[in-house]
Structure 1
């Protein structure tokens, strides 16, 4: 399943359900799809998302440093972190905040 984020401030964003639900959780939202953020709630959701992503990125850095030598078998594989996947959503929220527009997801 996919989740589409929409706002008049920017184009639509499409995420797989698992990534979208993690991002919604980091924003302090429940896992209801469809749902929305009012324009007045975007600042708080954006701040919570940024804080949550920073915490996840730090955890990933520590874990990577600990297992750096043990990953000889996995050298050919690459995982894209949630922080990287969240960049378009962060940009959408910032644009929606500037234009005072709501953000919807379905």
Structure 2
């Protein structure tokens, strides 16, 4: 299943449901789809998302450093994957634009 984020401030964004729900949780929202953010709430959701992503990035860096010391002699031991921080960039940009233009953001 997919979740589409919409705002008059930017184009639509499409995420797989599991990633969308993680991002919504970081924004302080529940897993209710469809739902929305009022224009007044976009700034606080953006700040929460940025804080949550920073915390996850710090945890992942610590894990990566530990993994590198544990399996340094094993080539290709780890899988390449797209981090949540990279996946969140379009949503961060949408929230920033919505905040500037004082627009709500909805998802369905």
TM-score (norm 2): 0.93
Instruction: State the 1:95 CA deviation.
Output: 0.1
Instruction: State the 1:4 CA deviation.
Output: 0.3
Out of 77, 80, 97, the residue aligned to residue 78 of structure 1 is 80
Q: What does residue 23 of structure 2 align with?
A: 23
Over the residues paired in the alignment, what is the CA RMSD in angstroms? Answer: 1.3
Out of 82, 89, 92, the residue aligned to residue 91 of structure 2 is 89
**CA deviation string 1:28-74 (max 9, x = no partner):** 00000000000000010000000000000000000000001416354
Q: How many residues align?
A: 106
Q: Write the distance in 2 (CA, Å) between the matches of 1:75 and 1:50.
A: 30
Greater Cα shift, 7-16 or 70-79: 70-79
Q: Write the distance in 2 (CA, Å) between the matches of 1:51 and 1:74.
A: 31
- Structure 2, unpaired ranges of 5+: none
TM-score (norm 1): 0.95
Q: Write the distance in 2 (CA, Å) between the matches of 1:85 and 1:6.
A: 16
Structure 1 stretches of at least 4 aligned residues deviating more than 4 Å after TM superposition: none
Q: What does residue 59 of structure 1 align with?
A: 59
- Going from structure 1 to structure 2, the CA distance change for 1:78 and 1:68 (only over 3 Å counts) comes to same
Instruction: State the 1:76 CA deviation.
Output: 7.1
Q: Write the distance in 2 (CA, Å) between the matches of 1:91 and 1:25.
A: 18
- Structure 1, unpaired ranges of 5+: none
